[in-house]
A and B are shown apart, each in its own frame.
Chain A
Amino acid sequence: MLLIGLMILAVVVLAAAAGPHFIPYDPLQTAPEVKLQPPSLDHPMGTDNFGRDILTRVLYGIRLDLRIAFMVVFAALIVGILVGTFSGYYGGIVDDVVMRITDVMMAFPSFVLAMAITAMLGNTIPNVVIAIAISYMPYFIRLTRGEVLSARELGYAEAARCVGNPEWRIMYIHLLPNCLTPALVQASLALGWAILDASGLAFLGLGVRPPTPEGGVLVGEGAKYIVSGEWWTSVFAGAVIVLMVFGFNLIGDSLRDITAPEER
C-alpha cells in the first residue's frame, strides 16, 4: 500500500516538475480559435473555453496545490508540536486553556473555519494557506500533547531532569522526538486534505482565483460546461485532485499501520 501511494505521488510530482518543459503551451495564453476542443493528440486533455491547453494548466495546477499543501502542513505541524509539547509537559492551567481553545477550533468543520478565516484576512493565496493551517493546528496540538502526557511519566524524562537538563531541553530534546510519530503520520494524511481544502476553497472563489491554474479553479471553470457535453474541461482536473489525495491517503494509512500501537 505504501508503495502504491508513493508511486502515484512520484508520477504526479515528476509530471508536474518535468512536464511543462516538454509542452510548448503557456498556461495563461489564450487562443480563442481552438476553444473547447475535445482531447486529441495536440491537446491530450483538450482545451478550455479560452483555448488554453488543459494538460498544461493541470500540470501547473499540481505544482501550486503541492506547494500550498506542504506550506499548510509545515506551518500547522510546527505550531502543533511546539504548543502541544509545552501544553502536555506543563499541564495545569496552561494545558486547560490550550485545550479549551482547541476545543472551540475543532467544533467547526475545518473547511468552514478556513473559509471564515480567509474571509477575515482577505482573499489572497498566503491568507488561504494561513487559514487552512490554522484549521489543522488543533489536531496536531492534541496529538503531540497526548503523546507527551504519557511520555513525561516515563523514567527518562525524570532522569533527564536529574542529570541537570533545563525544562526546555527535557521537553524539546528528550520528549518531543519520541512523541513525533502520530503527528507525522497525521501530517502525511493532512497533505491530502490540504489539497482538498485548498481546491475546495478555490472552487468557491476563495484563495486561488482564475486565471491562475489550480485544481479547484480548473474544476470551477469547467463546471459550467459539463452539462453541455464538454466534460474534459473539469473531469481531468478533478481526477488529478483525487489521485493526489488518494496517494497521500495511502501513504498516511500505511504509515499509521506501521506505527500502530499494536506493533509497538
Chain B
Amino acid sequence: MNITAREPLLRVEGLVKTFREGPLTLHAVNGVSFEVYPGEAVGLVGESGCGKTTAARSILRLTEPTSGHVYFNGTDLIKLSRARMRAQRRHLQMVFQDPDTSLNPRFTVRRTLAEPVQLHKLARKDGLEERLLKTMSRVNLDPEFLGRYPHQLSEGQKQRVGVARAIITEPKFVALDEPTSSLDMSIRIHMIALLQGLQKELGMTYVFISHDLSAVRALCNRVMVMYLGTIVESGPTDEIFDRPLHEYTRALLSAIPVPDPQVKRRRILLTGEPPSLFDVPKGCAFHERCPAAQPGCRDRKPVLRDLGGGHLVACDRL
C-alpha cells in the first residue's frame, strides 16, 4: 500500500470542540489535525477524557464542532448543510461503543439494518433482502437473528449488529468507537479478526478509537495518541509501540500488563491523576505529571513535529 502517493480520504484541520456548562467551559478537543489515507486503519488512543470519542463525533458531525475543518474527499463537511451532510453519511459510518444502548430496543435487527439502506435509497424490495442477508453473513450472524429484538441477543451479537449497520451502506470510512471494550477478553480477538476481514473485503478505511492498546496493535497500521484534547504522538504502529518517544506514551505503554511472566516490565508510574478538562494547563498539557518536565514546559505549548519516518511527537525536549 503506497500511502504517500495518494490523496488523503480524510483530512482534519484544527478541530476544536468545547462544551459550555454554565460559567465553565470544557475543552474536550483542543486543536487536532491529522490525515487518513484510503485503506488505512488508524488508531486513536488515549485514556478516558482525552477527547478521542468527542473528536470522532465532531468529525462525523454527530455533535457540531466549535471550529476547524474536516475534509472528506476534498469536501469540507463542516460547511455542508444538514441535508447535504445526511447524503454524505452513506460513506461516513460509525460503530458505537455500547451495544446495549446504541440499538433501538423497539426495532428488530431487520429494521435497524434496513433503515440506512432505505434512507439512502440503495436498494428496492428484493435488492434489500439480498443486501440484508449478505451483510448478516459478513458479520457471521445467522439470518434468523433478523427477526429478533436487541434484548434477545448476547453482547457479542449486539456488537456485530452494530458493525452490520455500519457496513451495510458499504461506506468508505468507518469510525469504530471502542468496539472491543465491552467484550470479554477471549472474544476480543475474534472481533478484531472480523473487522480486519471486512476491511479487506469492502475496501474501507478505519479510525479505531480505543483505550485497549493491544486491540489497536492488532488492527491498526498507524496510531495517534491523545492526551487532554491534543495529539501528543503519532506514527506507524510498530514505531509507536516499540519506540515511543513522548513521556505519556511511554507511561501508557508501560502500564499495560503483558500476558507473559517472562517479559520484565519497567513500569513508569505517573503521579496523580489527569487534570480536569475544565482547567487545561497552559503550556504542555502533560507537564504537571511528566517525569522529564523542564521549567520551559510550563509556558510553551509544544507542536507536533516529524522526527523522521512519519513519527510525530509534540514535545519540546526532543
Direct contact of A and B (CB under 8 A): yes
Q: Please list the residues of chain A having a beta carbon within 8 angstroms of any beta carbon in chain B.
A: 154-156, 158-167, 174, 177-178
CA distance A123 to B83 in the complex (A): 48
CA distance A158 to B115 in the complex (A): 14
* With A155-B96, A155-B98 as contacts: A162 and B104 at CB distance below 8 Å: no
CA distance A185 to B239 in the complex (A): 60
CA distance A159 to B60 in the complex (A): 11
B115 contacts A163, CB within 8 Å?
yes
- Give every chain A residue within 8 A of B87 (Cβ-Cβ): 164
- Give every chain B residue within 8 A of A167 (Cβ-Cβ): 82
Checking A160, A164, A166 against B104 with a beta-carbon cut-off of 8 angstroms, the contacting residue is A160
Across the interface, name the chain B residue whose C-beta is closest to A180.
Answer: B106
B62 contacts A162, CB within 8 Å?
yes
B96 contacts A164, CB within 8 Å?
no
CA distance A93 to B57 in the complex (A): 24
- Give every chain A residue within 8 A of B105 (Cβ-Cβ): 156, 178
- Give every chain A residue within 8 A of B94 (Cβ-Cβ): 159, 162
Minimal beta-carbon separation of A259 from chain B (angstroms): 14
B102 contacts A155, CB within 8 Å?
yes
Query: Chain B contact residues (Cβ within 8 angstroms of A): what range?
Result: 20 to 34
A158 contacts B165, CB within 8 Å?
no
- Give every chain A residue within 8 A of B82 (Cβ-Cβ): 166-167
- Give every chain A residue within 8 A of B119 (Cβ-Cβ): 163-165
Known: A164-B86, A165-B86. 10 other contacts (CB 8 A): A155-B100, A156-B101, A156-B103, A156-B104, A160-B115, A163-B89, A163-B93, A164-B116, A178-B104, A178-B105
- Give every chain B residue within 8 A of A177 (Cβ-Cβ): 106
CA distance A155 to B112 in the complex (A): 13
Judge whether B27 is part of the interface by a CB distance below 8 angstroms: no
- Give every chain A residue within 8 A of B57 (Cβ-Cβ): 158
Which 10 A-B pairs give the minimum distances between C-beta atoms? Answer: A155-B102, A155-B101, A164-B89, A156-B104, A163-B116, A164-B119, A154-B101, A159-B102, A164-B86, A162-B94
CA distance A163 to B117 in the complex (A): 9
CA distance A154 to B102 in the complex (A): 7
B89 contacts A158, CB within 8 Å?
no
- Give every chain A residue within 8 A of B115 (Cβ-Cβ): 160, 163, 165
- Give every chain B residue within 8 A of A160 (Cβ-Cβ): 104, 115
CA distance A156 to B94 in the complex (A): 12
CA distance A164 to B120 in the complex (A): 8
CA distance A154 to B82 in the complex (A): 21
Q: Is the interface of A mostly helix, strand, loop or mixed?
A: helix
CA distance A177 to B104 in the complex (A): 10
- Give every chain A residue within 8 A of B98 (Cβ-Cβ): 155
- Give every chain B residue within 8 A of A164 (Cβ-Cβ): 86-87, 89-90, 116, 119-120
Across the interface, name the chain B residue whose C-beta is closest to A166.
Answer: B86
The residue among A159, A160, A178 with the most chain B CB atoms within 10 A of its own CB is: A159
CA distance A154 to B106 in the complex (A): 14
Minimal beta-carbon separation of A42 from chain B (angstroms): 55
CA distance A166 to B119 in the complex (A): 9
Across the interface, name the chain B residue whose C-beta is closest to A165.
Answer: B119
Of the A-B pairs whose beta carbons lie under 8 Å apart in the complex, a sample of 15, sorted by A's number, is A155-B96, A155-B97, A155-B100, A156-B102, A159-B104, A159-B162, A160-B104, A161-B62, A163-B89, A163-B115, A164-B86, A164-B89, A164-B119, A165-B115, A178-B106
Minimal beta-carbon separation of B52 from chain A (angstroms): 16
* With A155-B96, A155-B98 as contacts: A162 and B103 at CB distance below 8 Å: no
CA distance A174 to B106 in the complex (A): 8
Across the interface, name the chain A residue whose C-beta is closest to B98.
Answer: A155
CA distance A197 to B97 in the complex (A): 49
The residue among A163, A165, A166, A174 with the most chain B CB atoms within 10 A of its own CB is: A163
- Give every chain A residue within 8 A of B116 (Cβ-Cβ): 163-164
Across the interface, name the chain B residue whose C-beta is closest to A157.
Answer: B104
Interface residues of B in 64-106 (CB under 8 A from A): 82-83, 86-87, 89-90, 92-94, 96-98, 100-106
CA distance A159 to B82 in the complex (A): 16
Across the interface, name the chain A residue whose C-beta is closest to B100.
Answer: A155
CA distance A175 to B223 in the complex (A): 36
Checking A158, A165, A166 against B102 with a beta-carbon cut-off of 8 angstroms, the contacting residue is A158
Minimal beta-carbon separation of B117 from chain A (angstroms): 10
Minimal beta-carbon separation of B167 from chain A (angstroms): 12
- Give every chain B residue within 8 A of A161 (Cβ-Cβ): 62
Minimal beta-carbon separation of A90 from chain B (angstroms): 14
- Give every chain B residue within 8 A of A156 (Cβ-Cβ): 101-105
CA distance A159 to B86 in the complex (A): 13
- Give every chain A residue within 8 A of B93 (Cβ-Cβ): 162-163
- Give every chain B residue within 8 A of A174 (Cβ-Cβ): 104
